[in-house]
Amino acid sequence: MKDKVILAYSGGLDTTAIIPWLKENYDYDVVCVCIDVGQGNELDGLEERAKLSGAEKLYIENVTDEFVDEYVIPCVQANAVYENKYLLGTSMARPVIAKRLVEIARKENAVAICHGATGKGNDQVRFELGIKALAPDLKIIAPWRCNDTWKMQSREDEIKYCEEHGIHLPFSADSSYSRDRNLWHISHEGLELEDPANEPNYDHLLVLGVTPEKAPDEGEYISLSFEKGVPVALNGKEMKASDIIKELNALGGKHGIGIVDIVENRVVGMKSRGVYETPGGTILMEAHAQLEELILDRDTMAYKKNIGAKFADIVYEGKWFTPLREALQAFIVSTQEYVTGEVKMKLYKGNIIKAGTTSPYSLYSESLASFTTGELYDHHDAEGFINLFGLSLKVRAMKKAQLEKENK
């Protein structure tokens, strides 16, 4: 019996070429594992492709609900956004994929896990930190870092290698964008995007929606309901979170929402440029933030903003399975105890426009906020407050004036 290796398999040219490469260089039996986190029709024909390429077995594991409930929703509750723009679509999916790879490795008594991430990207870090945290005994194989045995540097090289090993599949040598898709988003890198001076070719690039210019001239109203920071209903219809995201993707894509062009700082030290489509996620994050505006007190909101930024860094860097992530998430969950209510919005040409927010736990008091004097607030009290609040400023200014007078 040969040792087994688990290959994180997408069905694309890279991971298909890795199958014969593993058998040739390691003499392993290759067990392919495709983790379904909402890629859609990208999974069509995978089993036949894996078998034709020499795999002993193929698992297709649908973890979409787990991905949404246990990884996406905590990031929504945290308002976790990396470098003010990136909604962590790829980052959030990597830990659940690593976790399932490890589970199948244990089931198959495999000795190693192999991934097709390049040596320049973030995903190698995310996959491998996840595997190390969950299965430190397993060997990790990253072909793109194996300079002695992985000689392929282009799609043409990979197609030729496959054909030399009896694998004749309809892969195209035409270069295209490098994409990663799941239920939350799709990312695009490569081609004209490699030069930040170039405008993205949106007509060629977009998959989930249209640009704001091509969105309908009529806006569309929607409502989202939350319970303890978790989305539970769309337009009054109760459904699970993954189905809400699916519906929001269609609505957001239709109205040109959630298209972000960003130059980001990768974990490995370089800057990279990409375009992200996150139509449903953008709406969901905005709705959640609007609800928190009503409910969280000033100090908690301010502190939670810092926690959200740190949480985003942790997820981006692949440190999901760490004590710090668990501790921060515990804080975040505690802040969501009263984040319950309904958010109404208008979607219009790339914009999400407030249309009213309600909650039984709202801290907004119309009598306090209005310009009329209510029972809880006396305008004259502000004078004493300002005197105390600005006392240090006044003392400093008086001291400076005294020193300037003495030095004349």
Distance CA 142, CA 140 (A): 7
pLDDT surpassing 90 at residue 368: no
Each residue of 158-174: pLDDT tens digit?
999 999 999 988 888 77
243 labelled catalytic = no
pLDDT at site 408:
82
pLDDT at site 233:
98
pTM of the model: 0.94
Of these residues, 29, 123, 225, 242, which one is catalytic? 123
Looking at every residue in the chain, the average pLDDT score rounds to 95
10 labelled catalytic = no
297 labelled catalytic = no
What percent of the chain shows pLDDT beyond 90? 89
| Assigned architecture for domain 4-75+85-175 | 3-Layer(aba) Sandwich (3.40)
pLDDT at site 371:
64
Pick the CATH number of 179-296+339-358 from 3.40.1160.10, 3.40.50.261, 3.90.1260.10, 3.90.700.10: 3.90.1260.10
Helix (H, G, I), strand (E, B) or coil at 338: coil
DSSP conformation class of 371: S
| C-alpha 195 chain-centroid distance | 24
Each residue of 327-365: pLDDT tens digit?
999 999 999 999 999 999 999 999 999 999 999 999 998
DSSP conformation class of 140: E
Structural domain spans, the chain = 4-75+85-175, 179-296+339-358, 376-401
Of these residues, 178, 266, 272, 362, which one is catalytic? 178
- pLDDT band for position 176 (50/70/90)? confident
User: How far is CA 145 from each of CA 121, 210, 402, rounded to the nearest angstrom?
Assistant: 11, 37, 67
Each residue of 128-154: pLDDT tens digit?
999 999 999 999 999 999 999 999 998
Burial label, 203 (beta-carbon count in 10 A; 0-12, 13-18, 19+): exposed
Each residue of 369-380: pLDDT tens digit?
766 656 777 888
Whether the Cβ atoms of residue 186 and residue 207 lie closer than 8 Å to each other: yes
Distance CA 251, CA 282 (A): 11
Of these residues, 94, 126, 181, 273, which one is catalytic? 94
Helix (H, G, I), strand (E, B) or coil at 213: helix
More confident residue, 393 or 40: 393
Buried b (16+ CB within 10 A) or exposed e, 263-289: ebeebeeeebbbbbbbbbbbbbbbbbe
pLDDT at site 170:
82
Choose among 289, 155, 279, 317: nearest CA to 231: 289
Residue type, 139: K
Q: What's the length of the chain?
A: 408
Of these residues, 14, 29, 36, 180, which one is catalytic? 14
Task: Report the DSSP beta bridge partners of residue 347.
Answer: 220, 352
14 labelled catalytic = yes
pLDDT at site 377:
79
Mean pLDDT for 256-266 is 98
Least confident of 70-74, 299-303, 369-373: 369-373
